[in-house]
Every structure is written in C-alpha cells, then in structure tokens.
C-alpha cells in the first residue's frame, strides 16, 4: 500500500531524511520510532504530500505522491503532529467540513460524521467549540477527522499524546482493530505503545533506518533479553552469585542492593540465548533458598538508546 524508495529531504545544510526505503502492506501497523528530530514527522509529511522530497519517491495505493498528490490524499487519513484543528468551530461542524471534502453528501455525510463521533466517543462535546475542549478531546477530534472516510492508509503522528490511560487504551484498541484491513503508520516515542499495537517496528535515527522488524525481535536485541532475575535470601546471595557465574551460557551476574533481607541477582546470557533451564538446575543442585525467579523479555528503552545513539 505504501512504498517509499530512496526518500531524502534536505533543509539547507541539514539532512532530515537520508535515503529511506520502506514498504508497508495492508494489515500492518507500523510503529515509527526515533528520537526527536530523527525525521519521523518529515517522512510522514512527504508521504502525505505536504513536504516535497529532495529525492526519492513515495507511492500510496499505486498513486505517485509527487505526480498525483490528490489521488494519494484521497486514500490517506492523516493526523498531523499536534493534531491541528480549527478551534473556532465545533467538532460536528469541523467533521462535516472534512466529510464534504471527502466527497460525501446529504444523509451519507451525516452518517459519516455520526459514525466518527461514535467511534472516538465525542458525543459529549460534539457541539462545543474545539478551542474550549481538553487536550484528550482535541486529539480524538483529530483522529476522528483522519478515520472519517475509512481510508486504506492511515498515518497518525503521535496519536495518543496527551490522552489519559483509559483513552490511550481505547485509541490503541481502535488502531489495532483498524489495522486488520488497512496499512497504518503511527509515530510515537512511547515504546510500550509499539508492543501494544504494532505488528512491526521501525526505528530511524538521523534520517536513516536503524531497525526494521517485529516488536518481539526488537526486544530480542536487548542485553537483558532472556536474562534471569533471581531473588534469594541475603545470606545466600554471595554463594549463589559465585556458583551462577560458572554456569555455561551465563555472561555475567549482577547483584542489586538487598531490601527486606532479600537480594536480587540478575544473570545475563551470552548472545541472548535462553539460560533459565541451566540456571534453575544449578540453583536447585546447590539447594539455594530461592524467593523468586523470572525471565526478562528485554528492555525496549535500552535497545532504543543503543540503536539511536551509535549511528
């Protein structure tokens, strides 16, 4: 549905996006990650035809955005960064304008507006000026505008920014549900969001692609992926630590400060391989007084930091 090739944007001496290649298919929810200024918004603006690329092409549903932006814009639903809206008018009037631009008339237009209001739960504020609404309602009005015409391609720049946890949950399940038959790109810097809604994670740093894979694979890159956390009585901690260090596959063991007489040990594996079996066998053999044993799936924050600062 979305095909980006060799996409480059330079602003004077600054290169915001440097030769990006990316393809997004129907049924994918792509989480677009990167530090601030990495080129996420610029990329989205080029896909939606707002910014003209310095080089490279974008094709959306077969339409070249550079050659026929309007045909591409018809199949795209887009919420720009910060969800800009006409603050003087009400959500109903605003969505009615969007529905008119999207080509709906008469009863169908009313139905479309009503559906968008229902979908984003805006009924309570539908007739109040947008400028007077809370940040959460504004963001949802911006989302309602993007999904009103049930587009094949959805591009959402930080869709859950400013929402409370309940609203976040609501919007995420909405995106997940829509992701089944659309191609969706969402940008975010909330890493847990990628795990919660995305089928694919892409990280860019300084305008270049540094990771492209599933959220699970992203976690697998973590140093603490498959690490084992062991909680033991403080007296037994030192012995356990020495013993664990000798287990094959364990790279190193770290001890964290004890609380309430319980110490926490973390055994990191070599190359992210599973070590839980060997570790637990060894502990049992030593008769170590274990209070708790957990396997880490990995820390997204840590992977993100490593991937985006080494470029």
Q: Which residue in 295, 304, 305, 289 sits closest to 266, CA to CA?
A: 295
Nearer to other proteins, 52 or 245 (CB): 52
Among 86, 108, 284, 301, binds other proteins (CB under 8 A): 86
Among 10, 50, 220, 258, binds other proteins (CB under 8 A): 50
Nearer to other proteins, 129 or 289 (CB): 129
Tokens 């008119």 correspond to what residue?
100
Among 60, 76, 122, 240, binds other proteins (CB under 8 A): 76
Q: Name which of residues 133 to 162 contact other proteins (CB under 8 A).
A: 145
Nearer to other proteins, 20 or 83 (CB): 83
Among 87, 108, 111, 164, binds other proteins (CB under 8 A): 87
Q: Which residue in 246, 245, 228, 231 sits closest to 288, CA to CA?
A: 231
Compute the Cα dihedral for 117, 122, 123, 127 and give only its sign: negative
Q: Name which of residues 100 to 139 contact other proteins (CB under 8 A).
A: 100-102, 129
Q: Compute φ and ψ for 5, nearest 5 degrees.
A: -135, 130
Compute the Cα dihedral for 155, 72, 112, 100 and give only its sign: positive
Give the number of other CB atoms < 10 A from CB of residue 45. Answer: 21
Interface with other proteins includes 97 (CB under 8 A)?
yes
Nearer to other proteins, 51 or 251 (CB): 51
Strands 55-60 and 2-11 come out as antiparallel
Q: Which two tokens stand for residue 64?
A: 């070249």
Q: Which residue in 195, 302, 280, 285 sits closest to 229, CA to CA?
A: 280
Among 14, 70, 107, 248, binds other proteins (CB under 8 A): 70
Kindly state the smallest distance separating residue 73's Cβ from other proteins, in Å: 4
CA distance 300 to 306: 10
Nearer to other proteins, 94 or 211 (CB): 94
Kindly state the smallest distance separating residue 101's Cβ from other proteins, in Å: 5
Q: Name which of residues 251 to 280 contact other proteins (CB under 8 A).
A: none
CA distance 118 to 244: 56
Among 61, 93, 251, 266, binds other proteins (CB under 8 A): 93
CA distance 161 to 135: 9
Residues near other proteins (CB under 8 A):
45, 48-52, 70-71, 73-74, 76, 78, 80-82, 84-89, 93, 97-98, 100-102, 129, 145
């Amino acid at each position: 549905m979305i095909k980006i090739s060799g996409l480059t944007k330079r602003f004077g001496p600054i290169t915001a996006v440097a030769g990006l290649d990316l393809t997004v298919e129907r049924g994918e929810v792509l989480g677009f990650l990167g530090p601030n200024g990495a080129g996420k918004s610029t990329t989205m603006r080029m896909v939606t035809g707002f910014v003209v690329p310095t080089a490279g092409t974008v094709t959306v549903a077969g339409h070249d955005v550079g050659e026929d932006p309007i045909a591409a814009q018809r199949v795209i639903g887009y919420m720009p960064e910060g969800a800009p809206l006409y603050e003087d008018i009400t959500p109903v009037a605003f969505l009615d304008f969007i529905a008119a631009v999207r080509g709906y008339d008469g009863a169908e237009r009313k139905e479309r507006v009503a559906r968008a209001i229902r979908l984003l739960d805006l009924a309570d504020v539908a007739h109040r000026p947008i400028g007077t609404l809370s940040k959460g309602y504004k963001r949802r009005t911006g989302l309602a505008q993007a999904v009103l015409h049930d587009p094949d391609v959805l591009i959402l720049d930080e869709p859950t920014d400013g929402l409370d946890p309940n609203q976040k949950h609501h919007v995420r399940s909405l995106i997940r549900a829509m992701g089944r038959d659309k191609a969706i790109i969402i940008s975010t810097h909330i890493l847990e969001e990628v795990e919660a809604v995305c089928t694919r994670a892409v990280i860019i740093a300084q305008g270049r692609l540094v990771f492209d894979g599933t959220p699970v694979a992203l976690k697998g890159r973590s140093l603490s992926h498959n690490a084992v956390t062991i909680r033991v009585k403080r007296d037994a901690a030192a012995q356990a630590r020495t013993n664990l260090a000798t287990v094959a596959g364990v790279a190193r063991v770290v001890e964290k400060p004890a609380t309430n007489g319980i110490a926490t040990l973390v055994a990191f594996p070599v190359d992210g391989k599973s070590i839980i079996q060997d570790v637990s066998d060894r502990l049992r053999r030593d008769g170590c007084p274990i209070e708790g044993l957990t396997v880490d799936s990995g820390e997204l924050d840590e992977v993100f930091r490593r991937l985006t600062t080494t470029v």
